[in-house]
Structure 1
Amino acid sequence: MTRRRLALCSAVLVAALVPGGTRALAAPEIAGIAVDTGTLALRCGAVWDAAGGHRRGPIAIVADKGRIVSIQPDGSALRPGETDLRGETCLPGLIDAHTHVMLESDRLEGDYDAQLLKASPEYRTIVGVGHAGRLLQWGFTAVRDLGAEGGGWGDLAVRDAIDRGMVSGPRMQVATQAIVATSAYPLLGYAPGVSVPVGAEQITGADEGRRAVRAQIGRGADVIKLYADRGPRLGADGSVQSVPTLTPDELRAIIGEAHRQGRKAAVNARSAQSARDATDAGADSIEHGDYLDADNIAAMARRGVYYVPDFDTDASISARRAAGGNAVWRAMPQIKCATLARAVRGGVKVAFGSGIGGADWSYNPAAAFAPMAACGMTVAQILTSATLGSARLMGIDDRVGSLEPGKLADVIAVPGEPLSDISVLQRVSFVAKGGVVHRVTGKPVKSGGE
């Protein structure tokens, strides 16, 4: 690449990412989402989605201008231009309702600090673009990204560059900076005279909470993220205990303002008390929810609050954190597994979230499906949580989450039968988002601004 061409590419990227920069010409859009204007024809060996269940094929899926127009059995000879997926199962694009594309890893105590202290927001935005592209290649065509974690407003730039067709990635809902109680979130523990960045916006009092919500929505936040507690520890009864940070009044003010402005509120709550406070305040989802008791589960089921358990894709994370001396991390896998089983039995709606970004990006979020199955969820329940369930939580189920005529053509394919071997979801061979093919025969397809 010549210097002139490199400079031109850099200028275009900066213009796309910087607010107020020159807008690139975009493909036609549907509700802010760039889509294909041509026809997509697939021949699948089988189809699964939460709306229609498992359907054996061959089945033809046809999309036009980014939307599915027909799904029907078709055992005829393959037609010219049709993509042959007859040895594979087609599913809706996966949806991860808890990601952090601006984080590279948060496995150990020093990982988070190093990113906030040593990596510029500009660098982390570029890293976020790469992470978003990886998620799409893994088959995740939509994500809810819950906090830039000290990365400024870079998640907005990543979302907008994807929507404009400048770079590849899933469609994104972003939380921007998230909201925490003053002095209750990293970076912590530095000398009093040393000024350090904080991974979320700090507030004290209901009025400051409302102001933060308004400011974040004004910047472009799609969802409001709150941290309701800190310092998880192991209780004498084997539960997870924590220190509540935001008061009930602050929680009600923040969540109420989010709802008043048409945004949902996602609340990180690791203990039963924090989850209770968040549910009582009107939270739309409880994130992590490491320990939920019977009262939590009954209240969440009654009020329709989603549980996003954020199972670690890297099973070694808890062990590494336990090595730092906090016994809760040694017990966490078993505690969380029991909580998920209770929640499913209790009728709580589950949306899939991996928390990727906390785990290393060498781990595919779909690796979390196996431990969820080990905790008692059926494969169909897990796949529903990672498609239609997450779409409903995000309020986009009218467009994505299932394979139905009229919906956007977000389609993936995997070898074999996922209902009998859920690990095949880690080997996605085909990805189309809005009718645009991004992966075929297991290899990326160069398109758009790539």
Structure 2
Amino acid sequence: MMKVLNIGQKNSHRSTAHVKRNLIWVLLIFTAHMIQGQILLVPERVFDGESMQQNWVVLVQDSIIQYAGPETGLRPPASTQKITLQGMTLMPGLIEGHSHLLLHPYNETPWNDQVLKESPAERALRGSVHARRSLMAGVTSMRDLGSEGAGYTDVALKKSIDQGIIQGPRLLVAGPAIVATGAYGPKGFHDGVRVPLGAEAVSGVPEAIREVRTQLGNGADFIKVYADYRWTPGAASQPTFLQEELDAMVATAQSAGKYVVAHASTPEGMRRAVLAGVETIEHGDGGTPEIFELMKARGTVLYPTLAAGDAIAQYNGWLKGQNPAPERIQKKKASFQDALQSGVLIGFGGDVGVYPHGENYRELELMAAYGMPALEVLKAATSLNARIFHLPSLGSIERGFLADLIAVPGDPAKDIRALREVAFVMLNGSIVKQP
């Protein structure tokens, strides 16, 4: 039987301040008991990371899932707190694969101005707000793909979350990221003007190796490289790094037990990155069936960032739902469908930051709209991303896994839009949002 604390009238000789202190202390103890004790979650259905289960319950003790299965197979202790999630689907917390917590939508402030005019301190403050919004939207883990000119501010943001200073998802961060000399922005200034870049520039194998080691030493969890980019503003993207440079960066990261991901949108940039051994390709707009077949053969995972392209097209004047889709959107959709057809693994990562943090569902909805079955979309956002990001205790609802859980109304396997309305969030066994 759950204990009930009665807080009665205090003796008159006690001061009002003393009573208030006692009351606050009792409430803190009660809250800790309610949130960190044994909790039995009773939803209408459970998506366990692979399939939808009916009539399941989930028992959480402290930070760990102790039981997941039919209620008839469980005898919880009498002191267990029971939470009924009526009409809801319980599922693993979302794992966002491509984000930029230190950016905000480009229709608010262009990317150039964010890099050049917003200080790292301002961007850190924004990032703390973005992190909490993400968590409240059901994102319990997040891979951040570069600080975009803010140095190692993403590393500091991760530390602040880990230490409980601010609320946010578990973070995996890339630090500044690495670009080829001359291939990244901000651009458009004459050669006498030196401006901060959105990433660290290198040329040649020795510099590339040195920068990988520097970034790992400064706290990056993995390395992001730009395998192609625009050499001049407005030009088409072209490959940037030579094969030997990419090979050296991947080998250096792997020797330290880390991995490399690549921004790549051209067939040749993607090919070089895949042959070098990067674990994921980010964007992949120009991917061809041949490139996707190569990725499949090498085990390279695609993060298509559909929502970023969709948002930028709208910033550029596309009236979605009223006007025909621009050519870039049509090509992106066709490329995504080629990737689906090839059988290459596709993860969930929308490049959030280009569009508002907390609206991570945009990518999930577009993945479904472009042809991926909703159940596969749910897998991409949970168990698949956990496996690809080397998070062995996350992404599934099963005994012994960490209790990162969310609940949404209805059945997201039938209507992915249910993920717009995350009603319950548990991070590491602590309830941070509930109906």
TM-score of the pair, normalised by structure 2:
0.85
Q: 1:419 to 1:174 in 2, by over 3 A?
A: same
- Bigger drift between 185-194 and 86-95 goes to 185-194
Is 2:404–2:426's contact at 8 Å kept on the other side of the alignment?
A: yes
Matched residues in 2 for 1:165 and 1:84: separation? Answer: 28
CA distance in 1, matches of 2:107, 2:295: 29
- Which amino acid in the other structure matches residue 84 of structure 1? T
- In the alignment, which residue of structure 2 is the partner of 1:282? 277
Q: Indicate the percent of aligned positions where both proteins have the same amino acid.
A: 35
Q: Distance in 2 between matches of 1:356 and 1:334?
A: 21
Partner of 2:301: 306
Which consecutive segments of 4 or more residues in structure 1 shift more than 6 A?
Answer: 75-80
Q: For the aligned residues, what is the CA RMSD?
A: 2.3
Residue type matched to 2:342 in 1?
G
Name the residue aligned to 1:12.
none
Looking at structure 2, the residues matched to 322 and 215 of structure 1 have their Cα atoms a distance apart, in angstroms, of: 41
Q: What number of residue pairs does the alignment pair up? A: 390
With over 3 angstroms needed to count, the CA separation of the structure-2 counterparts of 1:277 and 1:77, relative to structure 1, is closer
> Partner letter of residue 339 of structure 1?
S
What is the CA distance between 1:314 and its match in structure 2? 7.6
Q: Which amino acid aligns with 2:366?
A: P
- Counterpart of 1:70 (choices 26, 48, 67) is 67
| Other-structure match for 1:9 | none
1:65-113 CA-to-partner distances (Å, cap 9, x unmatched) read: 20100012227999862111032010100011100001112358x7111
Q: Helix, strand or coil: the match of 2:68?
A: strand
In the other structure, the counterpart of 1:116 is 115
Match in the other structure for 1:46 = 45
Report Cα offsets for 1:382-418 as digits up to 9, x if no partner.
111111111111100x210110100000110000111
Q: Which residue of 2 aligns with 1:205?
A: 204
Partner of 1:360: 356
Counterpart of 1:19?
A: none
Amino acid of the structure 1 residue aligned with 2:204: G
Give CA deviations for 1:256-286 in whole Å, capped at 9, x if unaligned: 1111111111100011111011111111100
1:260-409 superposed matches below 5 A = 260-312=255-307, 315-321=310-316, 330-361=326-357, 364-396=359-391, 398-409=392-403
Structure with greater Cα Rg: 2
SS at match of 1:144: strand
Residues 313 and 275 (structure 1), Cα distance of their counterparts in 2 relative to 1, 3 Å cut? closer
Tell me the distance in 2 between the aligned counterparts of 1:182 and 1:61.
52
Q: Deviations over 1:159-197 (max 9, x none)?
A: 111111111110000000000001111111112222211
Aligned partner letter, 1:346 = S
Call closer, same or farther: CA 1:429–1:319 in 2, change over 3 Å: closer
5+ unaligned residues in a row in structure 1: which ranges? 1-35, 234-239, 324-328, 442-450
The alignment partner of 1:312 has SS state of: helix
Do 2:184 and 2:231's aligned partners in 1 also have CA atoms closer than 8 Å? no
Aligned partner letter, 1:223? F
User: Counterpart of 1:276 in 2: which secondary structure?
Assistant: helix
Note the C-alpha offset of 1:232.
9.9
Q: What is the rounded CA distance, in whole Å, between the counterparts of 2:168 and 2:282 in structure 1?
A: 23
CA apart distance, 1:315: 3.2
Q: Quick one: distance in 1 between partners of 2:336 and 2:387?
A: 19
- Aligned counterpart for 1:251 among listed residues 246, 263, 280: 246
With 310-319 and 97-106 compared, the bigger mean Cα shift is at 310-319
Q: TM-score, normalised by structure 1?
A: 0.82
CA contact (8 A) 2:46 2:54 kept: yes
- 1:188-245 Cα distance to aligned partner (Å, 9 max, x none): 1112222211000000001111100000000010010011111399xxxxxx962111
Answer yes or no: is the 8 Å Cα contact 2:100–2:353 preserved in 1: yes
Matches within 5 A, 1:64-143: 64-74=61-71, 81-106=81-106, 111-143=110-142
Q: Equivalences for 1:204-223 in 2 at 5 Å? A: 204-223=203-222
Instruction: Please list every run of 5 or more consecutive structure 2 residues that lacks an aligned counterpart in the other structure.
Output: 1-34, 319-324
Structure 2 residue identity aligned to 1:334: Q
1:60 pairs with 2:54: no
Deviates further, 307-316 or 132-141: 307-316
CA–CA distance in 1 between the matches of 2:317 and 2:198? Answer: 23
Q: Is the 8 A contact 1:46 1:86 kept in 2?
A: no
